C-alpha cells in the first residue's frame, strides 16, 4: 500500500469516527429533548383529563 493510500484510509477512518461521535451526540440531545417534552406535556394532559372527568 502506498503512503498516499495509507493517508487516504486514515482520513476516511477518522472521518467515520468523527461522524459517529456527532451522530451519538445528536441522538443524546434528541433523547433529552424528547424526555423534556414528555415531562412538560404529561402534567397538563393529566390535569385536562381529570378536569374533564369532574365535569
pLDDT at 55: 66
The cell numbers describing 14, all together, are: 477518522
pLDDT at 1: 73
Environment class of 43 (CB within 10 Å of its CB; exposed 0-12, middle 13-18, buried 19+): exposed
Provide the residue-wise pLDDT of the chain in tens; the chain has 55 residues: 798 999 999 999 999 999 999 999 999 999 999 999 999 999 999 888 888 777 6
Q: Residue 27: how many CB atoms within 10 A of its CB? A: 10
The cell numbers describing 23, all together, are: 451522530
pLDDT at 52: 78
The residue behind cell 402534567 is: 43
pLDDT at 54: 72
Amino acid at each position: 500500500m502506498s503512503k498516499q493510500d495509507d493517508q487516504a484510509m486514515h482520513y476516511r477512518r477518522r472521518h467515520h469516527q468523527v461522524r459517529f461521535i456527532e451522530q451519538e451526540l445528536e441522538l443524546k440531545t434528541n433523547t433529552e429533548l424528547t424526555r423534556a417534552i414528555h415531562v412538560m406535556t404529561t402534567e397538563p394532559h393529566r390535569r385536562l383529563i381529570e378536569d374533564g372527568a369532574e365535569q
